[in-house]
């Protein structure tokens, strides 16, 4: 049986077994928190989670928790690229770090996105919140903007390369993180007003801002816009809404009514407010006519950012944002990229269920293709594997041997089954720790040692060789799944600073 035909048949079977006809495609709500640690969700970290998260806990009780889910990078821009394209970011020009609010679009105009794919399947598509994937800002002198600041913006001009050019019917949000200028809302392909003021929501990131925009108001605005969009939807046409929250990322600025609620400082308060926003979105679905066939996914772009969250103080108070895992945002250790991943879909997913399957946030593309019974083009979703079988409690059948992890510094790690190889002697990110022995890299058994404390690099050379070969193949082939080889946009040095010995 041809692989694509088999995939389509399996998708139809999945829908039918869930009590959902092929003509009744699921609505999809994808909620992406910003810098929310795996251990920040109390249901995922019952022993060492001290921040109340009743809404996400309820979501977990009513749906499925994936215990081994990973963002494709330990920082935000790269992960967002992977979510929307099903392709690893390091295949693009962005092989380390992130982009800023004035930078050019990272997603090429001819690259198929999840939104563009679903739009072709008859979905209404919307994006609300933080974009952080670059845009073509209109300028007064015709020269492109770049970097952390720009003075040549035409505030009345048309924006290109943003969400509405990449498959979304509607967009409302900000161009990048809330601590990066310009501090102004964008609706579809236009600025909402003009940035005639100057503000700073992060040290050394002073820039143009709309006089009325304040950081504390942005998360409530995202909630309001998201709920408003959902209230307009009907059950006769499916929709996909990608809600990219700005919290609990910096500026850590909870609304007045949330200040002091957690008794764990501003970060704990902001996590609680984030949870409440997710609850507002869930409530809008629960009171709708389409609740039964709506799949809500809640996840995060990477782990908790240790310094602004004051993770050391949180841990002293008994709250561990990375739960039992080592590291934080930016790192190759699992605390950098193992993220909450909770799926509720009453029509198809068993309540209070769990999956230990290894999944990556690049997997949304292949999953929606299977759930809609539609074949992906060979030039799309190169690093995406459907997790639809796991939603039914089944094993994921994958042609991808392992998952690639990537740090802010452009360092690589590879996870295959229980084994994880890190091609660095340290975190690969901001955490200033290194392994104590003289090994050139790190190898861990993630089943026996999820905290990554016992380096097995020297004792299992055959495992190192195998994982290294698979990583090299995934990089060289331009894809990690079955299909014709593709080109990376740039030469990729996956072994930077690593020498096998």
pLDDT, tens digit, 9 for 90 and up, residues 192-226: 999 999 999 988 899 999 999 999 999 999 999 99
Domains defined for the chain, CATH in brackets? 3-391 (3.40.720.10), 403-476 (3.30.1120.10)
0.85 surpassed by pTM: yes
- For residue 167 the two structure tokens come to 């498959």
113 contacts: CB under 8 Å, gap ≥ 6: 84, 85, 107, 166, 167
SS3 369: helix
pLDDT tens by residue, 352-385? 999 999 999 999 999 999 999 999 999 999 999 9
Nearest to 102, CA basis, from 219, 211, 186, 221: 186
Bridge partners, residue 139, by sequence: 153
Q: Which residues neighbour 345 within 8 Å (Cβ) at sequence distance 6 or greater?
A: 18, 26, 63, 293, 294, 295, 296, 391
* pLDDT at position 6: 42
| Residue 435 confidence (pLDDT) | 87
Tell me, what DSSP letter sits at residue 160? B
User: For the chain, how many helices (H) and strands (E)?
Assistant: 11, 16
DSSP H or E stretch at residue 395: none
Determine the Cα–Cα distance for residues 128 and 416; give it in Å rounded to an integer: 34
What does the CA dihedral 387, 233, 8, 30 come to, rounded to 10 degrees? -20
pLDDT attached to residue 434: 87
Q: Output helix, strand, coil percentages for the chain, rounded to the nearest 5.
A: 30, 15, 55
From the list 114, 115, 95, 160, the residue with the least C-alpha distance to 134 is 160
Q: Alpha-carbon distance 340 to 32, whole Å?
A: 10
Per-residue model confidence (pLDDT) at position 15: 44
pLDDT of residue 1: 40
Q: Which helix (H) or strand (E) element contains residue 227?
A: helix 215-232
Q: What local confidence, expressed as pLDDT, does residue 106 receive?
A: 98
Residue 14: per-residue pLDDT:
45
Q: Is the peptide bond before 239 cis (omega within 30 degrees of 0)?
A: no
Burial grade of 23 (CB within 10 A; 0-12, 13-18, 19 or more)? exposed
Identify the segments of the chain with pLDDT beneath 70.
1-23
The predicted structure's pLDDT at residue 49: 98
């Amino acid at each position: 049986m041809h692989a694509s035909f088999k995939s389509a048949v399996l998708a139809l079977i999945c829908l039918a077994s869930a009590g959902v006809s092929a003509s009744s495609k699921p609505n999809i709500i994808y909620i992406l928190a910003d810098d929310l640690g795996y251990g920040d969700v109390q249901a995922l970290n019952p022993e060492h989670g001290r921040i109340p998260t009743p809404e996400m806990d309820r979501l977990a009780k009513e749906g499925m928790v994936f215990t081994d889910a990973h963002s494709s990078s330990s920082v935000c821009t790269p992960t967002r690229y992977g979510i929307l394209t099903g392709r690893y970011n390091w295949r693009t020009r962005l092989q380390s770090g992130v982009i800023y609010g004035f930078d050019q679009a990272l997603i090429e105009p001819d690259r198929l996105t999840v939104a563009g794919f679903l739009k072709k399947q008859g979905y209404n598509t919307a994006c609300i919140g933080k974009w952080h994937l670059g845009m073509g800002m209109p300028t007064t002198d015709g020269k492109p903007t770049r970097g952390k600041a720009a003075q040549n913006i035409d505030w009345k001009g048309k924006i290109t390369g943003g969400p509405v050019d990449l498959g979304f019917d509607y967009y409302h949000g900000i161009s990048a993180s809330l601590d990066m200028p310009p501090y102004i809302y964008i609706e579809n392909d236009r600025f909402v007003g003009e940035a005639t003021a100057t503000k700073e929501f992060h040290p050394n990131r002073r820039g143009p801002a709309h006089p009325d925009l304040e950081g504390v108001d942005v998360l409530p605005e995202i909630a309001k816009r998201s709920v408003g969009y959902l209230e307009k939807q009907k059950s006769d046409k499916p929709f996909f809404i990608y809600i990219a929250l700005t919290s609990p990322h910096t500026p850590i600025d909870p609304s007045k009514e949330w200040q002091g609620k957690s008794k764990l400082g501003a970060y704990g308060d902001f996590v609680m407010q984030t949870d409440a926003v997710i609850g507002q979105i869930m409530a809008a679905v629960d009171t709708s006519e389409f609740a039964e066939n709506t799949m809500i996914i809640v996840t995060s772009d990477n782990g908790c950012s240790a310094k602004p969250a004051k993770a050391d103080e949180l841990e002293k108070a008994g709250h561990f944002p990375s739960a039992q895992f080592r590291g934080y945002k930016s790192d190759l250790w699992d605390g950098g990229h193992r993220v909450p991943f909770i799926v509720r879909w009453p029509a198809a997913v068993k309540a209070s269920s769990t999956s230990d399957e290894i999944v990556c946030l690049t997997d949304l593309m292949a999953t929606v293709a299977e759930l809609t019974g539609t074949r992906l083009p060979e030039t799309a979703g190169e690093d995406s594997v459907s997790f639809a079988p796991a939603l039914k409690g089944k094993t994921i059948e994958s042609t991808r041997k392992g998952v690639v992890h990537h740090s802010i510094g452009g360092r690589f790690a590879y996870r295959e089954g229980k084994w994880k190889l890190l091609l660095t002697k340290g975190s690969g990110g901001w955490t200033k720790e290194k392994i104590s022995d003289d090994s050139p890299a790190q190898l861990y058994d993630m089943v026996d040692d999820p905290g990554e404390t016992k380096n097995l690099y020297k004792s299992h050379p055959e495992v190192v060789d195998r994982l290294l070969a698979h990583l090299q193949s995934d990089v060289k082939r331009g894809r990690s799944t079955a299909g014709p080889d593709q080109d990376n946009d740039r030469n990729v040095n996956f072994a930077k600073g690593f020498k096998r010995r």
